[in-house]
Amino acid sequence: MMDPEYCFGMGLLKRFLWIICVFGPLKVSLQDVNVAVGVTGGSVILPCVTSEIEHKLSDINVRWRHNGSLIVFDILHGNGSVENQNSGYKNRAESFPTEYKKGNFSLKLNNLTHTDGGNYLCYILHSSEEVITQLTINESAVHMEEQPTEGNENQARETHSRIIFTVLGVFMLCLVLCITFYIIWKKRSPDRNMSFKYFRCKDRGADANGKDRGADANGKDRGADANGKDRGADANGKDRGADANGKDRGADANGNDRGADANGNDRAVAIGLLPL
């Protein structure tokens, strides 16, 4: 039976040798870690340059990866390839084929968005090198200037909506008040009509208390004596201004007014028209 400590030590040794075999050929230095800054909607060049230029063009193989797994661009046997390219970089990533022989495998990324930010790895297979570039995406100046305008437009829309709702609210309130007033008035209108009719039907010859203006305090006729007889009539109830036959004493035998001439004109008026 083998010693557990021995087995544990051998396991660590195997893992150490495996790490050396896998990562030993890679040559990574701090000089290969670059920083790039871009703006939304703009373009940026991600550098990737090697000093080893003895390789043939057909031997050049380079892979560009974003955040470790996203395929951005490939150079296979000296030719650019987008066969396995992630759809998010379609028509946005390009290299410089004329610079391949010079060891320049830099990548240009166009129409930048915020999702393009992160780490980009340029892995040069034929020389076992890798270059890491950290990309930061900032807001473009044009977009920053447009933001306040959009904010003002949104604020104007909100203000306009508030005004409309306020006007509608006031209108509805007035409508409710008018309907309420009409209902109340309608319920009370019969009494009002009766009062109006009662007021219109009062006798104009009566005072404020409804008493006859031609009567005294006791309600008796002012044109009658103590016995209630007409003061203009005699003891028999005949008109004092008429003769025994009931004719007007102011008229002649023909019934014409004694104060008028043959033409019916007032004698006093005719005399008044005579010249002095």
One-character DSSP codes across 32-77: GEEEEEEETTS-EEE--B-S---S-GGG-EEEEEETTTEEEEEEET
pLDDT for residue 49: 92
pLDDT for residue 28: 39
Confidence label for 149 from pLDDT (cuts 50, 70 and 90):
low
Residue 203 has pLDDT above 60, yes or no: no
β-bridge mates for residue 233, sequence order:
239
**How far lies 25's CA from each of 53, 124, 125, 192, in Å?**
18, 12, 10, 111
Flag the least confident range among 22-31, 80-89, 203-212: 22-31
Residue 117 has pLDDT above 80, yes or no: yes
Could you give the CA distance from residue 194 to residue 197 in angstroms, rounded to a whole number?
A: 5
pLDDT for residue 156: 75
Q: Bigger pLDDT: 264 or 8?
A: 264
Tokens of 44: 């940026």
Q: Is 62 exposed, middle or buried (0-12, 13-18, 19+ CB in 10 A)?
A: buried
pLDDT for residue 67: 93
Average pLDDT over residues 6-26: 48
Residue pLDDT, tens place only, 150-199: 556 777 777 878 888 888 888 888 888 888 888 887 777 655 554 444 44
Q: Bigger pLDDT: 116 or 33?
A: 116
pLDDT for residue 154: 73
Residue 93 has pLDDT above 80, yes or no: yes
Q: Bigger pLDDT: 247 or 41?
A: 41
pLDDT for residue 201: 44
Do residues 40 and 137 make contact, with C-beta atoms less than 8 angstroms apart? yes
Q: Bigger pLDDT: 276 or 184?
A: 184
Q: Bigger pLDDT: 160 or 221?
A: 160
> Given the structure tokens 């306040």, which residue do they identify?
148
Flag the least confident range among 29-33, 134-138, 154-158, 171-175: 29-33
Percent of the chain with pLDDT over 90: 32
